[in-house]
Structure 1
């Protein structure tokens, strides 16, 4: 397959594939006739592994180090990635439920106790971490964990107020094209706010995943649509575009 075919199949951009080649992360052979990149099945397996590690929050330099290690085992990597993603799926679902309830709280629709306000924020219970350290070493894991920040619980009210203001601002531009400069600047603000406020460093891919939940989970769709009809779909598309551009 050529780069355009791979991009269409995987959903990542041709520019990202070229970048992976430039940094030595994924280097397919070239077609002798036209010089175009030609991706083999082995290249596609490596690309799959790269994307799984990206979903787990590892930066490209660390992924390259792991994949070129003499101790790298593809099956072990899959097992680790599965554990991480299952844990992350549960944690994000819990956090989104907390976010959903918090948005209702600020509108006066429900009450929440202190414990409920922080469900999903526990970043210290990572069941995959010990195995990850065994496979890839302390340095890789420590630098990846450094992305996580602690939520300032004393500022919980300002976080909720900030969310309300953020979604109000986003609703005001929901008729813009999702790939416009105005929209993507708003996505950058939203991405930075999420990472600053929730005690967790979202990868661009995780950020896009949250956007998909805005249209697949009726609870969040209903809540977000209160700010403006069509906002949930607008955000899902805009967040996906932001993630794709951030990976380039």
Structure 2
């Protein structure tokens, strides 16, 4: 366990910042001692790392909370995307260092620099485009209207609430995975799919049939969702998509 001052020293943020993150529900400590000391675990530090990554690419604190609190958030895939962005930035820094070296050589009487060489590394266009693509890719998964609804509900959730939500999510996925040998239109499968739609509405946002159908496509179009769902059974994402579409066709 780490006290708030220890976390601040490890990460390089202020104690005041950590207090603020706690107050808005972005990063809550694992526990608070009777004396009022906040105590953090390694899991808390992992979440803080992801918060700082998202901050670096321009996400607001509320946007970060909305994304990290999604049950299907895949930290590993998010880190891979961020690594790509960092590699772009590293290449830019290497180019700028090379430009500085060339400029020094030119000033000392070396070969004159071309205009292109003189400004190599200063062009932020590629990084900005890559950064925007990364940010848009995250944001587009969660339309503003549904994000607002989800935030209104999830902002009140406790750690125990989230634990219950994850357990119920795993239970529903598991129940459907057990029935993958059946037709997706099977009544028991459809009953579980109905539970999933209702679960989303009760815990996050009003899940219309249009949104539910969109989620069905997202589960197979986005490899991060596919990977997370398929942990419960190989090919579950494809099977679930078919079952969800059948459910929408039969009820909408």
TM-score, normalized by length of structure 2? 0.46
Highest RCO, 1 vs 2 (Cα 8 Å, sep ≥ 6): 1
TM-score, normalized by length of structure 1? 0.47
Larger radius of gyration: 2
